[in-house]
Each structure stands twice: as C-alpha cells, then as structure tokens.
Structure 1
C-alpha cells in the first residue's frame, strides 16, 4: 500500500482536493490471510475456501455487485474510501487505525468497490474543516480484513479574500485585494522598459523631424528675389498700380481756415505693381542704407510664409538688394476698400458691406491666433481681389520693413516724401487713444481692434474717416463720431438692416 497522489502538507480549510492510493495483493498476502482465518466466511456458497490459492482465484475473478450490496461474501475488495481524523486532543496523537477512538468520523469520502487488480484508487475529499494537524486515512476492506494507509496534513484557517487582512494562505496572487498587487516580474519590467524606449525614440524622431523641417524653412532662401527678376509692369496698371485716393490738405497750407473739402486738392497715392516670375505683384519699397539678413528677420519671414488664410494677402517674395529693398505681396486688382467705398460708381448694398467687415475680421482673427499683431491696420491696408474678397495686407515683417531714418532724410524724391507725409497724416485716426502722443509704441491686439472699429465707420458712411474735417485743425486724439444709421425711406439698399447692432459693435470696441 502506498500514496500515489498524497494530500498537500498544508491546506486551507474547506478546500477540495483528490487523493490517489494504491493496493497490490500478491500470493504471500493470500497465504498469510488464509492461514489467519480472514477468508473463513468468504465465498458465494458460504462454505469457505479449501486453500489460499482458491481464495486468491476468487478475489481476482469474482465480479463485485453494486456498492450498496457489496460485502465480504460477494466481493473481495468490498469497501474503499478515505476519511480524516483531527489529532488535537487525542491521546498520544494517535488516530485509528482508521477512525477516532470516540467513534466519530470527520471526513468520509464515497465508498468504492472493485476488482483487486484495479491497483490505484482515487477519492475526492470535499474539504477538511478542523484546523490543526489532521490524519488522512485510506481505508480498505478485503474479505474479513481492514487495511489502513495514514498520512498527516496541516489544516489552515480559511481565508476570506476581501476582509482587509492578508491572512496565512493568502498572497498577492490569490488575494490581491488584501495583500496588494504583486511586484512586476522581470519579463514584464523588461517589456515595459522596451516599450518606453521605443516610444521615446519614436517621439524624439518625430520631434527631430519637425524641428528639422522648421530649421529648413527658417534657412530656406527661396523667397529672396533678385532685383533683376522684378520687371516693371507695362501699361496703365504699371503706371498707376492700385490707386488709393486720399482727401487731405496741403502740408504747406498754414492758414488753417479752409476745410479740406473746400480747399484741398485730391492727392492720389499709388501702390506700385511689378511682374515677378510671370505674375503681377504689389511692391512695397523700403528705404534702407544697408540690409543684414538676421535671424530675427528670417523668423519673421518664416512666420509670414506659414500663414495661409483666404482673407490674408499672401507674401510672395522679398528683395534684399540695397537700395532696392522691397516686399512683394499678392496683387489685388480692385484696390483698397477705401477706393471701393469712395467710388460712387460702385453700388454697395449692406450685404456687400457686411461681407467686407467679416472678411477683415476673419483675417485679423487668424493673425491674432498666430500671435501676430498688425499695428498698421487701416482701410488702405485692406485690399479687394477680383472676386470681391477683402484681404488684409501689410502685416508682419516688422524688422524687415523698418525704414532707415537717414535714408528718408537724404531722399531727394519729393513725390515719395509727399506720399509718406499723406500716409502718415491719415494714420492718426486709426491709432488707439492709449497711444496718443507717442511717436513710437508697441502694437497690441486691442490697438488692432480699435483700428477695425474705425474701418467699420468708413464702411457704414462710405467716406473717409475724417469726412469734411481738416486734419491740421484736429487734435491728435480726435475720433470720428458714431454714424447715424437710422432707416432712410425709399432706399432699402442703403439702409442698414440692423443699425443698433452695427453701432453697438463699433462703439463697444472703440468709443465707449
């Protein structure tokens, strides 16, 4: 007799398990059992066996009935099971040979019967309930003989996973609720580290690629135009370009008694055009004694080239050849909105006017979203393309477009100086009140919003922001009055459909 699958040395209470034990009977056993009278009452006829060989033949060849009917007269191995015996409190810690001296049975598995040649027997134990050292007994009844195979195991208290206590028998794998999560295994740590390395490497590659592209665009000089490549525009457009009509008084008129409307001549300032690489472009000349392509200018050009919005006039190229420094931008053939608004031959209903205002607002919003302050916003810097879309121009490139004061003083071209004078004179009205009296200031988004409000007044009145006022007689902080947009009878196209709302927009950002 021996254990094939013995119970564990320690087991938690109420835990099910199986045990397998072996019984092998040889000729020596039968001789011994027959001589000691254990086969006296066996045999189907009840007459006993003549010798040990007859008893062996009966054990090996007699088929057993059902468990409930099996006994020593009709089945050689007529009872096989396993039961337990707690040893605590027993005299000499002795249990048995197969049941406690008290006669109580603590664990009793189902009874099995079968031929003696079966050898291995397996019993299912539904659980041990008494904590402490317990004897587990495999019990056989062969003919009139009882055989027992004993082994001891320690029964541990039952653990309750989730009670907040990591008791004996619980660990991080069986009860992470009470004992906490198990530390990561080495292979898991290696896998995580490998993943992190791959992720960081990929992120560095992507970051490096975009940085390379940014640096590449920063040092890209394809935008630089040679002066010889900028061809003079032919015909009437080349002679006059995009016209900007300006009402102003002569700077030599010191009487101050005549209004601009009565005594001033109409001065025309033109945005020059040219042909560059087969396309018409607008030319912004810059007076510089010398030009140094610094990193700051490169960053300005890069930021401007990256802007791509319908309501922004695109930067085309720039010439850095002194004294022909200039900026080439997209050409809009219909001139500025000032030209359009003041041209009585162009019918403009309020749908067109709202469209103009919306186009300017979208363009400026895109600039501000990209942290670019215009600083020079006015109606002459809002040009109209051939589809009647308004585009904001003359933005960005602050360092690039800065003029050399010495070059301006030494310039003998009186016409250009006159143009600059009239442009500067018209600029004061677009300057926010906080900048009054400052010859130089840092532009702000609020300043751009103020200039937009002045343009809204121009759109509403279809007139120069100064109207009939003489610029020379006005204080620098002067601002145009809020226009009267009350409905006019008989002309719906010239009547603002929402006068109060329109006035509130312009006044909220400007006059209040």
Structure 2
C-alpha cells in the first residue's frame, strides 16, 4: 500500500511539473503572454524574441484602423500613451530614462518641451522622441514574422508615416495613413520613450479599387477576372490539342485518299494490257463489216437476181461500210 501511494504521488507530481513547464515556456508571438495589443523592446537591436516588460506604460487605440479599406484610401488613426508613476521608477532602475531618480524622470517627460522639428528630437531632449504608424503587408512578411519597429521603411512595401515628438502628457496621437498593397496589412503605432520601443498592433484588410468594365486592364485584373477590360484569355494547350487532333486526322485522311487515287490512276496508265491497239480495232471493224456485206450481197443476189444494177448498189454499200469502219 505504501508503494502504491508513493507511485500515485510521484505521478501527480510529474503531471504538475509538466503543466507548470507548459505554462511558463517562452512563447514567440506578437503579444507575448499578457494578452495585450502592445509590446515593448529595448532600444538597441530589437527583434521578435527580446520583448521586455513595459513596466507601467500602456497603449490603446482611440480611433482604431478600419477593418476594411480600399487601396489608396486615406484615413486617420489615433492612439493613446499613458504611464503610471511606477513606470518612472522602473525606467530609472532599468536605465530606460537616464536620471538619478523617478521624480526627475517624470518632470522630464511631462514638462520638458521637445524640439519643433521631429528630426531634431532624441532621447536626450524629448520624452517621446518618435511616434508614427508602420504598415507591413503580411503577404510580403517572412513566415512567422511580425511587423516590428525594427523593420525599415522601404517606401514601397513597408511604409512609415511622418514621425512626431512630444510630451507624455499629450496622451493622444493622430496619424494620417494611406495603404496601397491589397491583402491583410499589419499596422503598428510605434513610439520611442527614452531607450525603449513600444508598439500597438492592429490589422486591416486592403481591397482593390479597380473596377471591371472601365476599359482599363489593370495588373491585378487579368483576363480571367475581367475579360471585359483585358479581353478573353488565350486558348489553353489542352483545348488546342483537343481541336488540333481531329483536324489533323481529317486532313491526313484526305491527303491519303488523294494519294491513293493518284496512285491508282498512274497504275492504270503503266499497265497497258487493257489498252486496245488502234490497228486491231480497225481490223476487227473491217472484218465485221466485210462479213456483214457478204451476207447482204448474197441476200441481194437471191432476191433481185443477176441484175447488174443491183450488184452495183451492193458494191457501193460495201465500200461505204468499209470506209466508215476505217474512220
């Protein structure tokens, strides 16, 4: 009984350890483990795996990006940035804001005026020295990648809005956004506070503004989607083969038939056994005519007697028959 009880305790302990390990294993995702829409990174070399605790800083959408927009459509988004007093304590302790105490850090963030141009703002002269919107079409992202603040603006695929800078007391930040590439786009509201990145994420579906029937064949329309603008699609190879084989068979049969008839014609000309010689034809006709004339003459003699006139007529008839047969 003791051994059985001990085995059960060991089994339960193993199950508990497995459960705790699964709960606390590091998870590589956009929102880490706190189930919020924002995350933070160190200012130097941020990546998908080195997220840090935001420590009292909170971000939220005031005017969230629309779920669906059309390509080229302009819209505004607004996000808020708020911090608690504990943030300044943690920021000083972790060297995010480089001051001797939390009071100085708070005074710097809430009272220090930033340069008029955002290009001149930095972590030394402005609390929030960078604030803008990044957009990353997910179809162009690497598998498993996220639209992080480390992805640069290339002006074509990944785009950044114009940066802003200001105090922590500003709270709300508004940016104008225009998206062009169709598909799902990940957008982040990105700020830099001292030596820390923070980003708030949302997704938007971008659809094409192209209209089928405007007589303009756009690159993303094509003959299959819009034959009215792009014309009918070229015939596929399988259809060409299906049409071509019967035609080729018919033409081949027709040509073979012509060749066969030509061959038979030539064969008849080469084989002269069936041709009757003209001389033989004349002789045969003359013999037939002579035979017939003799009978006629004999009949005439029997009928008319020995009259010279009758014989003369018969001879004339005989000669005429022989001449016609010769012709």
Q: TM-score, normalised by structure 2?
A: 0.44
Of Structure 1 and Structure 2, the greater helix share is in 2
Higher relative contact order (CA 8 A, sep 6+): 2
Q: TM-score, normalised by structure 1?
A: 0.29
